Amino acid sequence: MHLLRFILVLFVFLGIVAGCATQKTEYRTSPSWHSAMGRSLPAESVRADGTIVKYSNTKKPVSSAMAQYIDSIQLVEKNDATGDTTLRAVLPTHIFTQALTCLRDKDWDLLFNHVISKKTQAYYKSLDDKLETFKSFFLTNRKNIAKTLQRMMSGSRSGDTYISTYENKTVYTFTKNIRGSYIFTKITLVQEGPLLKLHSIE
C-alpha cells in the first residue's frame, strides 16, 4: 500500500515538473531570397531540442526618401514584345536575390547582362571564348556560390559578415568563425551610376 502511494506521488511530481519546463522560442525574419526564389518558410517550426522557431516577413524600416527612390525604379522589367528581361538593383539585397534567381534558373545570359559589373563583363569578353569560361565558372560553382550568397544576406544581420566600403565598392567578407565552412568567402559589389552590380566572387 505504501509502495502504491509512493508511485502515485512520483507520477504527480513528474507531471508537475514536466508542466513547468521552460519553453524556448526564437523569432526570426524570413530571408527575402526565399520569396524571390519561389520558396516559403512555415510560420513556425520545432527544432530537435524543443525550441520553437517563429518566422515573420517583417523588414527593417527605411527612410521615406529611400522608399520613394526604390519605388521609382522598376527592379524587374519584362518586354512583352521580345520577352527580354531587364534587372536593376539599388540595394545589396537586390543583387543577392537576382544572382540567386539566375543561379537557380541557370540563366547565364541574364546574370551576365544585368547582374555583373561592366568591368567584369569586359574581362570575360576579352577571353574571346563566347563566354564559356564565365558560364563554366558559375555552373561548376553554382551551389557553393548560392550557399555564400544566402549566408551573406543573413550574416550581415547576425554579425557573421564584415561589410566595408571604399570608393564605389562594397565588400562583404565572412568572419573567421565561419569562413572555413565556405568555398567563397568574399563578395564585392560596385556602384555603376544609380545602380549596384556584382563585381567579384572570391
Higher local confidence (pLDDT), 7 or 25: 25
pLDDT value of residue 24: 58
Q: Of 150, 174, 137, 195, nearest to 37 (Cα)?
A: 150
Question: Which of 32-46, 133-147, 150-164 is the least confident region?
Answer: 32-46
| Nearest Cα residue to 31 out of 86, 114, 87, 100 | 100
Report the C-alpha gap between 123 and 134 in whole angstroms: 10
Rounded Cα–Cα distance for residues 195 and 45 (Å): 37
When the pLDDT of each residue in the chain is averaged and rounded to a whole number, the result is: 78
Question: What fold does the segment set 84-201 form as a domain?
Answer: Nuclear Transport Factor 2; Chain: A, (3.10.450)
Helix (H, G, I), strand (E, B), or coil: what is residue 195? strand
Query: Mean pLDDT over residues 107-133, rounded?
Result: 96
What percent of the chain clears pLDDT 70, i.e. is strictly above it?
A: 63
Average pLDDT over residues 13-32: 50
The pLDDT, as a whole number, for residue 27 is 54
Candidate from 34-48, 51-65, 71-85, 120-134 with smallest mean pLDDT = 34-48
For residue 64, report the phi and psi dihedrals to the nearest 5 degrees.
Answer: -65, -35
The identity of residue 35, as a single letter, is: S
Per-residue confidence (pLDDT) for residue 70, from 0 to 100:
65
Look at 61 and 189; give whichever has higher pLDDT. 189
Poorest-confidence range of 8-17, 20-29, 83-92, 172-181? 8-17
CA distances from 122 to 112, 118, 125 (A): 10, 6, 5
| Residue 133 pLDDT exceeds 80 | yes
| Of residues 126 and 42, more confidently modeled | 126
Distance between alpha carbon 184 and the CA centroid of its chain, in Å? 14
* Per-residue pLDDT at 12 exceeds 50: no
